A and B are shown apart, each in its own frame.
Chain A
Amino acid sequence: MRRRIEYRDLHHSLTRMTGAEKHAPSATSTLDALYVLYDRVLDVAPERVDHPDRDRFVLSKGHGPMAYYAVLAARGFFPSDVLDGFGGFDSPLGHHPDRAHVPGVEVSSGSLGHGLPIAVGIALALRARNHERPNAQSNAAQSSFGRPNENTVAPRTPRVVVMLGDAELDEGSNHEAIAFAARAKLDSLTAIVIDNDSASLGWPGGIATRFEGEGWLARTVDGRDHAALERALVAPGGRPLAVIAKVEPKHG
């Protein structure tokens, strides 16, 4: 039975993490997308953090991880009391998440532009593993977006979901990964871009265009609308999927 997240509790959890983290807008901008992912989309659970068929989530914009920690605690990956030590010397919860410390954190992040390339590598590894399995299905048949189908006999290729920020897209490493992913037909890969209009030079033509031009399926949604986020994230794509989640401008 999936442990549901009470959205209203997340705000209280955020207030438990205090100190001069300096990236409060990052935390609040990601909150709703993280809630939808962990409550409705990702096939992950605290009792199966090492299960080979779990979905993988990568918080590439490791700044402001308070929302991430709040959601992980709400899903039971660690006790909520741990939130109170945020940033302390003995706390597992740093100002950037560390996979060595926090159950459920797949990739340690902080400096920008690393998560998407790593996520591409994870998606390639999972595809290779599934093709090596006996009775492997074609990759197209395995692509099952959204909640796992418990009646499916053959293993599905787990989803790999990576969250970035619109300003993080300034880093050129992301564009190496964006250009490669569609050519490599990584249809298990989803990039969520939290767009709070914080890129210093902006994205003339829109962020979705950048992904579409490289062969991705791109959807732009209201990043505070849970139903819209869920629809955008679960509908099959057959290509790498970019979901641009627009939230209120950082300096608005």
Chain B
Amino acid sequence: MDTMRDRFVTLTHAALDRDPKVALVLADISVPAFETARSRHPDRVINVGIREQLMLGVAGGLAIEGMRPIAHSYAPFLVERAYEQLKVSLGHQGVGAILASVGASYDWSAGGRTHHAPADVALLDALPGWHVHVPGHPDEVESPFSDALARRESVYLRLSTRQNASSRAIAPGRLHVVRRGRRGTVIAVGPMLDPTLAAIEGLDLTVLYATTARPFDAATLRETMPPAPTVLRSFASHDVALVEPMVEGTSSHVVSAALVDRPHRLLALGVPRVELRRYGTPEDHDRAYGLDARGLAERLTRFFR
């Protein structure tokens, strides 16, 4: 089966062939995958070498001239290495780009902390106006990619080797309703859907699947919330759990903002803010962080008890 990265490569080739305003800026990552595109469009497939600040400065310059740049690299180098360029070369110029990362969170767990970037979305959250997509399956890459091409704003496409067993009929910008329940709501982001569903087996919960993290679909969350479960409804609390493959609490603020007028309890599960100096497999890290089905089940069951 294709990976999310494979789909991104195929879609980007097609976009370059179709639209002379699309340009791809690389910093040595994935260069072989784009050799064909580079031979067809040498002016618009640009490898700047291992120079991430330049990659994003170039993306800004291309966007200023009306092009739709796609910058692509490994997540820590794309978002963390040149963070000020995201602020100044894109945001402050009033222009946007598509950033497509691979190596989400701890996809390359054995690569160690330097190659882990669970804070990418939290960092982007400090900048205004970003759209953030976190697909959970290769089949869920195309629609946010097409949506991103049609926009002028900055869009982050977070591609991962972690994925759910099957895709869902997602729509960019919308939470997908997986099922409805009465006890509370769980929001699972991207590849966390399958372990979340395994963890809450037997619990009567609404499950919302988020592949667009920003802007957050507050309307669907509110519409699908089960009634508060007490007689004293105005004092009753809605229970919401958030399960993210990113840093713990990354999306807490948007959920809280969505429910500002409704008393609620929020449990935010994600990658803790620790310097875990371990290697192994992504599954090893899931267990260490309590993000495997068993660890999630313990915490979610306790919360919704």
List chain A positions with a Cβ less than 8 A from chain B: 99-100, 106-108, 110-111, 113-114, 116-129, 131-132, 172-173, 176-177, 179-180, 184
Contacts and interface: CB of A to CB of B under 8 A. Distances in A.
B222 interface: no
Interface string B61-105: 111111101000000000000001100110011100000000000
A185 B62 CA distance: 17
B59 A127 contact: no
B282 interface: no
B298 to A, nearest CB: 46
A125 B53 contact: no
Contacts of B92: 108
Nearest to A110: B88
Contacts of B60: 114, 117-118, 121
B65 A118 contact: no
B48 A128 contact: no
A180 B48 contact: yes
Interface of B: 20, 23, 43-44, 46, 48-49, 51, 53-54, 56-67, 69, 84-85, 88-89, 92-94
A51 B64 CA distance: 13
Contact of B57 (A118, A125, A127, A184): A118
Contacts of A179: 49, 51
A111 B65 CA distance: 21
Contacts, number: 100
A118 B43 contact: no
A4 B44 CA distance: 38
A26 B56 CA distance: 27
Contact of B62 (A110, A121, A180): A121
- Central interface residue in A100, A119, A120, A184, by most chain B CB within 10 Å: A120
21 contacts: A100-B94, A107-B64, A108-B92, A110-B88, A114-B85, A116-B57, A117-B57, A118-B61, A121-B57, A121-B63, A121-B64, A121-B69, A124-B23, A124-B46, A124-B58, A125-B61, A128-B43, A128-B67, A179-B49, A180-B49, A184-B46
- Central interface residue in A110, A121, A132, A177, by most chain B CB within 10 Å: A121
A131 B43 CA distance: 8
Contacts of A116: 57
B51 A128 contact: no
Contacts of B65: 121-122, 125-126, 129
Contacts of B63: 121
Contacts of A177: 54, 57
Given A108-B93, A180-B54, A114 B88 contact: yes
A173 B94 contact: no
Nearest to A183: B49
Given A117-B89, A118-B89, 20 more contacts: A106-B64, A107-B64, A107-B93, A108-B92, A108-B93, A114-B57, A118-B60, A121-B58, A121-B60, A121-B61, A121-B63, A122-B61, A122-B65, A124-B58, A127-B43, A128-B44, A128-B67, A172-B53, A173-B57, A184-B46
A124 B61 contact: yes
Contact of A111 (B49, B59, B64, B84): B84
B23 A117 contact: no
Contact of A118 (B23, B64, B94): B64
Nearest to A133: B20
- Central interface residue in A100, A118, A120, A176, by most chain B CB within 10 Å: A118
B61 A119 contact: yes
Given A129-B65, A176-B48, A180-B48, A117 B58 contact: yes
Nearest to B67: A125
A131 B41 CA distance: 10
Contacts of A172: 53
Contacts of A113: 53
A61 to B, nearest CB: 14
Contacts of A180: 48-49, 51, 54
B40 to A, nearest CB: 12
A113 B84 CA distance: 10
Contacts of B23: 124-125, 128
Contacts of A120: 54, 57-58, 61
B212 to A, nearest CB: 28
A176 B93 contact: no
Contacts of A126: 65
A123 B60 CA distance: 11
Nearest to B88: A114
A119 B89 CA distance: 10
Contacts of A99: 93-94
Nearest to B23: A128
Nearest to A116: B57
A121 to B, nearest CB: 2
A128 B60 CA distance: 15
Nearest to B64: A122
A128 B20 CA distance: 9
